[in-house]
Amino acid sequence: MSVTTQNVSGVDRWFSLTARGSTYSREIRGGVVTFFTMAYIVVLNPLIIGTAKDMNGEFVGGTTDVVKAITMVTAATALIAGLMTILMGAVGGPKWDSVPRDKRPEAGLLRIRKELDVYANLRPAFCFPALAGASALKPELVEGLDIMIVRELTSGVYFGQPKTIEQLPNGERRGVDTQSYTTSEIRRVAARAFELARGRTGRTGKFPGVLSCEKSNVMDSGLLWREEVTKLHAEQYGDVKLDHMLADAAAMHLVRAPKDINVLLADNLFGDILSDEASMLTGSIGMLPSASLGEPGVPGLYEPVHGSAPDIAGKGIANPIAAILSLEMVMRWSLGRADVADRIFAAVGKALDDGARTADIGGTMSTRQMADAILKHL
């Protein structure tokens, strides 16, 4: 048997390009996109946030000096950018409904995710004890709920080609979306799920390890997903229990016995749907943060799971907890400050224990009042 050895340069070995399935051109494109993304954020973020007044007519930080507000936001943005992290708010709104799809904010967000290659989207669904009564389910079904949903974020039907609406000869129109996954795309996000499950021990539910969800009964991409997750488990993660479930069955299980699940792994589309469903178990979609992670050295992208809620925009009544807990995830997953993350998480819990509530979780507090109630415990 002959073995062919490929000549690999020192740069390739140092950055593990071939080992990671990457190329020089891909790394250069990623670097350029990252640079301009960060530069864009450092300039634009202060101009947007620093010049916006709250319901009391004050700028960020409680000041009435716009220059001071912009300076503070610029310093904070530069610090976070320098630490390889992007913390975002929700994007979107009805004013973009009539523009071409590729010009909408959501398209820009998808492009950022793809170019940064933040393929593993972590969406924790945790029910704080004080909010068990605010859940869509009976309190006994959600008390102690703690699920980590791992959603593949940079492939699947949201990115597959062709994607089009075409005119047919008979006068009808046909919409086309393409669901596509490769072996490496599946294995790398599955590895994240297995690693997370390794650190979340002591679970006693029916699925204490990783529950992988797809539609392998009717979709070839789902069958490939199940096969590759199973292979990876046998090769590297035999110490973690692996279960498979069809995505529609998983949707039912989430409302029947959600505490059975520890780590739920799914593709882009099913992960999106199942995590939104799980948000209602916690009391409100305004409670769920997310972290989108790539390979080491790639900026993490952090944002609330919820949308821009145009019906309440500008009213100062949105729940800030998902955004605050997204910062908690920044500290935990990008900055290595689990101690600070624990303090933020505990402060949210204490504020809820005190009865602090915005309208979506049964209260009357404004966004600022809710944030102040949390800050009081930091």
Domains of the chain: 1-82 (no CATH), 83-375 (3.40.718.10)
CA distances for 166 relative to 109, 170, 220, angstroms:
25, 12, 24
CB neighbourhood size of 340 (10 A) = 16
CB neighbourhood size of 201 (10 A) = 10
- 269: exposed, middle or buried (C-beta count within 10 Å: 0-12, 13-18, 19+)? middle
Confidence band, pLDDT 50/70/90 cuts, at residue 12: low
Q: What type of residue is 319? A: N
Q: Helices 247-256 & 268-279, crossing angle to 10 degrees?
A: 10
Percent of the chain with pLDDT over 90: 59
Q: How far apart are CA 360 and CA 364, in angstroms?
A: 9
Does position 14 have pLDDT exceeding 70, yes or no?
A: no
CA distances for 142 relative to 125, 178, 311, 329, angstroms:
10, 36, 29, 22
Place of tokens 């935990």: 332
Confidence band, pLDDT 50/70/90 cuts, at residue 21: low
Greater confidence (6 vs 306) lies with 306
* 149 DSSP β-pair partners: 123, 264
Give residue 182's pLDDT.
97
Give residue 336's pLDDT.
84
Which of 336, 299, 249 is CA-nearest to residue 39? 299
Exposure class string for 283-293: b at 16+ Cβ within 10 A, else e: bbbbbbbbbbb
CB neighbourhood size of 157 (10 A) = 17
Q: How far apart are CA 369 and CA 308, in angstroms?
A: 20
For residues 292 and 151, the answer to whether their CB atoms sit within 8 Å is no
pLDDT digits (tens, 9 = 90+) for 84-124: 567 666 666 777 778 787 777 777 778 888 888 999 999 99
Give residue 28's pLDDT.
74
Does position 7 have pLDDT exceeding 70, yes or no?
A: no
Q: What is the mean pLDDT of residues 18-24?
A: 61
For residues 310 and 93, the answer to whether their CB atoms sit within 8 Å is yes
Q: How far apart are CA 72 and CA 46, in angstroms?
A: 8
Q: Helices 66-82 & 24-49, crossing angle to 10 degrees?
A: 160
Which of 325, 324, 329, 322 is CA-nearest to residue 361? 322
Q: What is the number of alpha carbons within 13 Å of residue 297 lying toward its C-beta?
A: 5
Give residue 298's pLDDT.
81
Q: What are the residue numbers of the active site?
A: 158, 215, 248, 272, 276
Give residue 2's pLDDT.
38
Q: What is the mean pLDDT of residues 9-16?
A: 62
Question: For the whole model, what pTM was predicted?
Answer: 0.77
Give residue 3's pLDDT.
37
Which of 244, 144, 263 is CA-nearest to residue 195? 263
Does position 5 have pLDDT exceeding 50, yes or no?
A: no
Q: How far apart are CA 89 and CA 77, in angstroms?
A: 13
Q: How far apart are CA 374 and CA 174, in angstroms?
A: 50
